[in-house]
């Protein structure tokens, strides 16, 4: 446990400096001074412009950013952590709201890697990171790789209550697949709403063969809940089936808005009225390309996790409640 007398410092990689600034501001701290330069050879050069000796240091980075690709952000994080380790930082924590390679969490076919475990080992054993703070991992079985797995659910629940008003009582929570059923059913129980789910069969990754709706959505606003939206194919197909099943409107609420490839085009042509994502990944460019996209700020949850970790306090309260009332960003 870090001493409460050790100095708390926040640094940022290039993948999400805006989120790092929001976290630092909520903690009443300046963002640490560092620079990351891409050399002509393609290698990275990392420099810290202030002392970190005996400090409790937090590095904010994320995957799937438009600013910095996943592999580049991961390498940045490893080099930054290694630099801090040999500069005598007391403790190093990575704040990675969207964890890289989280979907590659099991050996699902012959000669397949478990890349999520490899990345966890790279960070902890290779780069010397003491703790990892992350949010809404793709599968519960990889939570054991990390010290502080946070959840966006309390913030999402508050957003729905604040924005939907009385309409929330005529809604149904829907999981687009069986894997997300636990997450969606938990939210449905918290809101005292009905729950439905889709059984889907995939031809291959990101390509759905068939979806079957299980549950009643007739005359209700369907709220799709998922941990991430990549190409949006699953969400768009689910919305089509929900309207065919009698739903009067479809919203989607997702923690990590990756929105790669044709995602914005798919979203724009879909029946989804709004896609609400958190700012675990930078969304500025995505919002400029799609007027259906809304963003929820989760920096208050991450900042409070950092504060509690620094002072040795329990973070379990953050699994069920939000630390502050402000949850939405200006759209």
Tens of pLDDT, residues 113-139? 989 889 999 999 999 999 999 999 876
Q: Where are the alpha helices (DSSP H) in 133-215?
A: 153-164, 181-191
The pTM of the full predicted model, rounded to 2 decimals, is 0.91
Q: Which CATH number fits domain 8-150: 3.20.20.330, 3.30.590.10, 3.40.50.2020, 3.10.150.10?
A: 3.40.50.2020
Which residue in 161, 237, 223, 234 sits closest to 194, CA to CA? 223
Q: Which two tokens stand for residue 270?
A: 């879909």
| Cα 175 from Cα 186, distance rounded (Å) | 11
Which of these CATH numbers, 3.40.640.10, 3.40.50.2020, 2.40.160.40, 3.40.50.300, describes 153-201+209-297?
3.40.50.2020
Asked whether 145 and 120 are in contact (CB, 8 A), the reply is yes
Residues 77-92 as b or e (16 or more Cβ within 10 Å = b): bbbbbbbbbeeebbbb
Instruction: Please write the tens of the pLDDT for every residue from 43-102.
Output: 999 999 999 999 999 999 999 998 899 999 999 999 999 999 999 999 999 999 999 998
CA-to-CA distance for 119 and 142, rounded, in angstroms? Answer: 11
Going by pLDDT thresholds of 50, 70 and 90, the confidence category of residue 1 is very low
Q: How far is residue 85's CA from residue 79's CA, in Å, rounded to a whole number?
A: 10
The tens digit of pLDDT for each residue in 237-284 reads 999 999 999 999 999 999 999 999 999 999 999 999 999 999 999 999
Q: Convert the pLDDT of each residue in 90-101 to its tens digit.
A: 999 999 999 999
Give the start-to-end residue ranges of the domains of the chain.
Answer: 8-150, 153-201+209-297
Tokens standing for residue 52: 């970190």
Shared fold status for 8-150 and 153-201+209-297: yes
Strand pairing report for 194-204 and 131-135: unpaired
């Amino acid at each position: 446990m870090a001493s409460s007398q050790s100095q708390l410092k926040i640094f940022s990689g290039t993948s999400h400096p805006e989120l790092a600034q929001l976290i630092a501001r909520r903690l009443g701290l300046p963002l640490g001074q560092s620079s990351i330069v891409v050399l002509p050879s393609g290698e990275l050069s990392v420099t810290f412009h202030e002392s970190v000796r005996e400090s409790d240091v937090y590095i904010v980075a994320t995957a799937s950013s438009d600013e910095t690709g996943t592999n580049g952000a991961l390498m940045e994080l490893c080099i930054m952590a290694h630099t801090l380790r040999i500069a005598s930082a007391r403790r190093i924590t990575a704040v990675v709201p969207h964890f890289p390679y989280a979907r590659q969490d099991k050996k699902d076919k012959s000669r397949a890697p478990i890349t999520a475990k490899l990345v966890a080992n790279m960070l902890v054993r290779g780069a010397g990171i003491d703790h990892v703070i992350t949010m809404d991992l793709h599968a519960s079985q990889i939570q054991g790789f990390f010290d502080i797995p946070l959840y966006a659910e309390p913030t999402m629940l508050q957003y729905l209550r604040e924005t939907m008003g009385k309409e929330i009582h005529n809604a149904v929570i829907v999981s687009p697949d069986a894997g997300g059923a636990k997450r969606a059913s938990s939210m449905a129980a918290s809101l005292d709403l009905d729950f439905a789910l889709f059984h889907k069969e995939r031809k291959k990754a990101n390509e759905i063969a068939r979806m079957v709706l299980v549950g009643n959505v007739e005359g209700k606003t369907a709220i799709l809940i998922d941990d991430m939206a990549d190409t949006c194919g699953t969400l768009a197909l689910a919305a089509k089936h929900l309207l065919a099943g009698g739903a009067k409107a479809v919203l989607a609420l997702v923690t990590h808005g990756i929105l790669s490839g044709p995602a914005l085009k798919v979203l724009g042509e879909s029946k989804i009225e709004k896609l609400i994502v958190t700012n675990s990944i930078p969304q500025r460019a995505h919002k400029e390309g799609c007027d259906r996209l809304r963003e929820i700020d989760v920096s208050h949850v991450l900042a409070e996790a950092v504060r509690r970790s620094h002072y040795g306090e329990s973070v379990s309260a953050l699994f069920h409640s939000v630390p502050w009332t402000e949850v939405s960003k200006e759209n």
